A and B are shown apart, each in its own frame.
Chain A
Amino acid sequence: MVTSKDKRTPWLYVLPALFLLTVFLILPTLQTFWLSFHSGFGFNPTKFVGLENYIRLLTHDPFFLNLNRWPPSGAVVNNVLWLVLFTAGTVSIGLAIAVLADRVRYEAVIKAVIFVPMVISATAASVIFRFVYSSDATVGVINALLTGLFPRLEPVPWLGRTNLVNYAVIGAGVWIWTGLAMTVLSAAYKSLDREVLEAAAVDGANAWQTFWQITLPMLSQPITVVAITMVINALKMLDLILVMTAGGPRNASRTIAFSMYWEVFNNTVAGYGSAIAMVLLLLVTPIIVLQIRRFRAEEGLR
Chain B
Amino acid sequence: MSIQTAAPRMSTASSADLVRWLVRLVGRGAIHAVLIGLGLVWLVPSLGLFITSLRSPADVATSGWWTAFSQARFTLGNYVDVLAARGFNHNFVNSFIITVPSTLLPILIAALAGYAFAWLKFWGRDVLFLVVIALLVIPLQTTWVPVLRMFNDPVGYFRVGWIPFLAQLDLRLTGSFVGIWLAHTAYGLPFAIFVLRNFFIGLPKELFDSAKIDGASDFGIFWRIALPLSVPALASLVIFQFMWVWNDLMNALIFLQDATKQPLTVSIQALLSTYGSEWHLLAAGAFVTMSVPLLVFFGLQQYFVRGITAGAVKG
Contact = CB atoms under 8 A, between A and B. Distances in A.
Size range of the interface on B?
35 or more
A74 B57 CA distance: 39
Contacts of A127: 49, 268, 272, 282-283, 285-286
Contacts of A206: 23
B187 A243 contact: no
A229 B312 CA distance: 7
Interface stretch (B69-77, B80-88, B135-143, B228-236): B135-143
Contact of A17 (B63, B112, B182, B277): B112
A16 B113 contact: yes
Contact of A280 (B142, B186, B282): B142
A32 B143 contact: yes
Interface string A96-134: 110011111010011011111111111110111111100
Contacts of B128: 14, 18
A14 B28 CA distance: 55
Contacts of B147: 24, 28
Contact of A284 (B1, B2, B139): B139
B303 interface: no
Contacts of B212: 2
Interface stretch (A49-57, A59-67, A137-145, A162-170): A137-145
Contacts, number: 298
Given A124-B286, A128-B286, A277 B139 contact: yes
Contact of A16 (B109, B187, B246): B109
B265 interface: yes
B89 interface: no
Interface string B40-73: 0111111011001000000000111110000000
Given A28-B142, A287-B137, A113 B39 contact: yes
Interface range, A side:
35 or more
A257 B139 CA distance: 9
A120 B265 CA distance: 11
Contact of A201 (B6, B39, B146, B286): B6
B186 A100 contact: no
Nearest to B305: A183
Contact of A257 (B42, B141, B150, B296): B141
A103 B186 contact: no
A21 B190 contact: yes
B44 A21 contact: no
Interface in A235-279: 235-236, 238-239, 242-243, 257, 260-261, 264-265, 270, 273-274, 276-278
Contacts of A58: none
Contacts of A31: 145-146
Contact of A24 (B63, B143, B293, B305): B143
A117 B290 CA distance: 10
Nearest to B3: A103
A3 B243 CA distance: 37
Given A128-B286, A141-B48, A121 B112 contact: no
B258 interface: no
B249 A121 contact: yes
A29 B142 contact: yes
Contacts of B176: none
Contact of A295 (B43, B48, B133, B143): B133
18 contacts: A10-B116, A13-B222, A18-B128, A21-B135, A21-B189, A21-B190, A24-B187, A116-B294, A121-B246, A123-B268, A123-B289, A131-B283, A198-B2, A235-B139, A236-B141, A236-B315, A238-B141, A292-B134
Interface of B: 1-3, 6, 23, 27-28, 31-32, 34-35, 38-39, 41-46, 48-49, 52, 62-66, 109-110, 112-113, 115-117, 119-122, 125, 128, 130-139, 141-150, 152, 182-183, 185-187, 189-190, 193, 208-209, 212, 218, 221-222, 243, 246-250, 253-254, 265, 268-269, 272, 276-277, 279, 282-283, 285-287, 289-290, 293-294, 296-297, 301, 304-305, 308-309, 312-313, 315
Given A113-B43, A264-B145, 18 more contacts: A4-B122, A7-B122, A13-B116, A14-B116, A110-B38, A120-B289, A121-B249, A127-B283, A128-B286, A131-B282, A132-B45, A137-B64, A180-B312, A184-B309, A229-B313, A276-B141, A281-B142, A291-B137
10 nearest CB pairs, A to B: A24-B186, A121-B247, A13-B116, A28-B146, A17-B113, A10-B122, A28-B143, A10-B120, A20-B186, A31-B146
